């Protein structure tokens, strides 16, 4: 699988992409401060995202009762899950070490 040509091309693409990202980040960090047009584009783009994207939907969360109830549910479930996972973790640990001692 790893030796197939199309897969090699895919891996090369991903590696190049990550290198591009890294150099893009370095360029962005070190380049001279944002020009006015960049700032304007940034502001208007953010406003656009707030109006017509998921960001905007999340901004309107306060008016969504269903989602709020869902958050409440996860908040209530969270400590229960933590306690359960603590118990499961220690039980598993003990069980696995016993199996190892038997061998």
Partner 1 sequence: MKNLRFDFVIHWIYAIIWALLAISGFSLISAKFGWMIGFDFKMADMIHRINAALFVLITFISIIYEVIRKIKNDDKTKPWFIIGRSGYQLFNFIVSLLLIVSGALIWICMEFNFKALALALTVHEYISYVALGSVIWHIYKKTHILAWPKKKAVNINNK
Partner 2 sequence: MINKKNLNYWRLFFIFSAFTIITLLALWVSPVGKATMMNKSMSSMAIGMHLENSTVYDLLQKEESINSDQNITKETSNQVNEDSSETKTLGIITTVIIFGLLPLILGGSIILAIVWIK
User: Where does this chain bind partner 2 (CB under 8 A)?
Assistant: 15-16, 19-20, 22-23, 26-27, 30-36, 38-39, 42-43, 50-54, 56-60, 62-64, 67, 70-71, 74, 77-78, 81-82, 84-86, 88-90, 92-93, 96
Which of partner 1, partner 2, none does 72 bind, CB closer than 5 to 8 A by kind? none
Q: How far apart are CA 6 and CA 19, in angstroms?
A: 20
Q: How far apart are CA 98 and CA 68, in angstroms?
A: 45
Compute the least distance from the CB of residue 45 to partner 1, in Å: 3
Residue of the chain from 73, 77, 83, 92 that contacts partner 1 (CB under 8 A): 92
Which of partner 2, partner 1, none does 78 bind, CB closer than 5 to 8 A by kind? partner 2
Torsion sign (Cα): 34, 40, 43, 46: negative
Tally the C-alpha atoms within 13 A of residue 28's C-alpha that lie toward its C-beta: 7
Give the CA distances from residue 49 to residues 22, 38, 41, 43, in Å, rounded to whole numbers and listed in that order: 25, 16, 12, 10
Which of partner 2, partner 1, none does 68 bind, CB closer than 5 to 8 A by kind? none
């Amino acid at each position: 699988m790893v030796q197939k040509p199309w897969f090699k091309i895919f891996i090369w693409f991903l590696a190049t992409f990550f290198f591009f990202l890294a150099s893009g980040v370095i360029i962005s960090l070190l380049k001279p401060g944002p020009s006015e047009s960049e700032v304007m584009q940034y502001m208007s783009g953010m406003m656009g995202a707030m109006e017509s994207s998921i960001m905007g939907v999340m901004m309107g969360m306060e008016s969504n009762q269903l989602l709020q109830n869902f958050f409440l549910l996860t908040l209530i479930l969270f400590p229960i899950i933590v306690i359960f996972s603590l118990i499961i973790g220690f039980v598993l640990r003990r069980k696995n070490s016993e199996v190892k001692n038997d061998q």
